[in-house]
């Protein structure tokens, strides 16, 4: 008969070999305790006096192992650069690339063209949202374009969540910038650095965790900042890799924009062609970054302070 451990709240779990002597957390009440050896007479856990529940985001029973090796995670990150090797992903990306390139011409269509451009951009962001979800579940190929749940659920909802994630990490920098304009805060503080830039940098660093939480766990998970910080600390090298991939993708986009601006006075046809090509490259970089964000959860979910499985 398999040994079990039972939390004081009554929830029972199988006592597997990998848990012997490890710190575990009850997924129902959040109490942490040490899993005993099966030969130990103490197979029941009791919470410390005064310990309270931490809510539904506490997570499943976990141990303090570092999970899969960083080497495996990095290998998958590198493989993400080559996602076009898959025929299915190649077909999906080719269609996406055509849409991304075509949107360059939409502004020439006047008001309707601008509206269409917003719709296309939103659709692309919604697709990227699904890329995170698929990679987090361990899928090696890009998601399909099927709208099985309708435009609202498959495009509008992911787009809104995508925008909310940036608002969550960007509001401190935005608020400081507004206060600085209104009250000259930087001049009064006389700091050797721009706090708005520092706050923006911290926001960019935090964004992969925020968008991952939003994509896989839902908006309600954004309230548990403490669990996000705990997770980042428990898997810092993996998360730093993920954040770096996001920054590189964003930097590539900015570099492409700067290059396009520098050629704005040349032949208009060549500028449009270059803009279309840069849009395709930007989508490629974004897909790689979103896949790495999803892979971060796939490889390090045992280190997460909660679980979405």
For 73-120, what is each residue's pLDDT tens digit? 998 999 999 999 889 999 999 999 998 888 878 877 788 888 888 888
Considering only CA atoms, which of 111, 121, 112, 104 is closest in space to residue 269? 104
Judge if pTM exceeds 0.75: no
Token pair listed for 36:
């005993």
| Residue range 42-52, pLDDT digits in tens | 544 444 444 43
Q: Among 21-35, 123-137, 187-201, where is mean pLDDT lowest? A: 21-35
pLDDT at 131 over 90: yes
| pLDDT confidence tier of residue 55, bands split at 50, 70 and 90 | very low
The rounded distance, in Å, linking the Cα atoms of 254 and 257 is 5
Q: Quote the pLDDT of residue 189.
A: 75
Domain boundaries, the chain: 1-65, 70-303
Residue 248 makes CB contacts below 8 A (sequence gap 6+) with 285, 289
**DSSP symbol at 33:** E
Alpha carbon of 302 to those of 65, 134, 241, 305: distances in Å?
A: 8, 18, 17, 8
């Amino acid at each position: 008969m398999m040994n079990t451990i039972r939390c004081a709240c009554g929830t029972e779990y199988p006592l597997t070999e990998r848990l012997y002597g490890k710190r575990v957390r009850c997924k129902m009440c959040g109490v942490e305790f040490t899993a005993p050896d099966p030969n130990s007479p103490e197979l029941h856990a009791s919470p410390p006096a005064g310990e309270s529940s931490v809510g539904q985001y506490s997570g499943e029973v976990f141990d303090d192992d570092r999970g899969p090796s960083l080497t495996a995670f990095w290998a998958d990150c590198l493989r993400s650069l080559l996602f076009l090797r898959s025929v299915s992903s190649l077909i999906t990306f080719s269609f996406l690339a055509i849409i991304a390139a075509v949107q360059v011409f939409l502004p020439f269509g006047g008001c309707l063209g601008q509206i269409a451009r917003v719709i296309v951009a939103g659709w692309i962001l919604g697709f990227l949202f699904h890329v995170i979800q698929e990679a987090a579940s361990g899928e090696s190929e890009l998601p399909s374009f099927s709208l099985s749940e309708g435009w609202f659920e498959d495009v509008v909802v992911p787009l809104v969540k995508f925008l909310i994630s940036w608002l969550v990490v960007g509001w401190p920098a935005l608020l400081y910038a507004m206060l600085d304009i209104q009250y000259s805060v930087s001049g009064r503080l006389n700091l050797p650095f721009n706090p708005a830039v520092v706050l923006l940098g911290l926001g960019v660093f935090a964004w992969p965790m925020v968008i991952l939480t939003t994509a896989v766990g839902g908006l309600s998970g954004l309230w548990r900042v403490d669990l996000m910080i705990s997770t980042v600390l428990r898997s810092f090298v993996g998360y730093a890799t993920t954040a770096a991939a996001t920054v590189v993708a964003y930097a590539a986009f900015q570099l492409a924009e700067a290059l396009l601006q520098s050629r704005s006075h040349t032949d208009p046809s060549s500028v449009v062609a270059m803009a279309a090509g840069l849009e395709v490259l930007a989508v490629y970089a974004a897909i790689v970054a979103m896949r790495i964000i999803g892979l971060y959860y796939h490889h390090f979910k045992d280190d997460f302070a909660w679980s979405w499985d």
